Amino acid sequence: MKVEAWVFGANAVFLGIVTPIYWIVSEDPTGTSALVMATGLAALVAFYLGFHGRRMDARPEDRKEAEIVEGAGELGFFPPYSWWPLWCALALSVCVLGVVFGWWLFLIGVAAGSMALTGWVFEYYRGEHAH
């Protein structure tokens, strides 16, 4: 994780250098705010990865003398297809349209979104992919 920390740290330094230059050249408060937040986010991720990278045992990717076979094995759980993100996105779009056209449509979107989000969260507790 040390390499990842250096990558995000380099991004934070680059954005920290670019942000004041952008402010001087463009005087755009919106873009400058976005660059300041991006700098902070990159620095936060770099700090997190560096902090935990020093306390963890070295992964096979982090050691020069590691063998390829050391990285073999289960990598994690990757969920199969799911229709719930589609329904959550549609409910969110109804909520956004509700802000434009009327609060009654927003409330319908909130109701549909709560059902879709509940379905997405509890997807693996019932049905074909139940654990």
pLDDT score for 12: 97
pLDDT score for 66: 83
Query: Given CA atoms 22, 25, 26, 29 in this order, what sign does their dihedral have?
Result: positive
The more confident residue out of 77 and 116 is: 116
**Are the CB atoms for 53 and 5 separated by under 8 Å?**
yes
pLDDT score for 76: 80
> Chain-centre distance of CA 79, in angstroms?
17
Q: Tokens 């979107």 label which residue?
A: 109
pLDDT score for 80: 77
Which helix (H) or strand (E) segment is 114 a member of? helix 103-121
pLDDT score for 131: 62
Which helix (H) or strand (E) segment is 99 a member of? helix 84-101
Judge residue 26's burial from the number of C-beta atoms within 10 Å of its C-beta, 0-12 exposed, 13-18 middle, 19 or more buried. Answer: exposed
pLDDT score for 113: 97
Judge residue 108's burial from the number of C-beta atoms within 10 Å of its C-beta, 0-12 exposed, 13-18 middle, 19 or more buried. Answer: middle
- Which tens digit of pLDDT belongs to each residue from 54-99? 888 777 777 788 888 887 888 787 777 889 999 999 999 999 999 9
pTM of the model: 0.55
Domain boundaries, the chain: 2-71, 84-125
- Which tens digit of pLDDT belongs to each residue from 14-51? 999 999 999 999 999 999 999 999 999 999 999 999 99
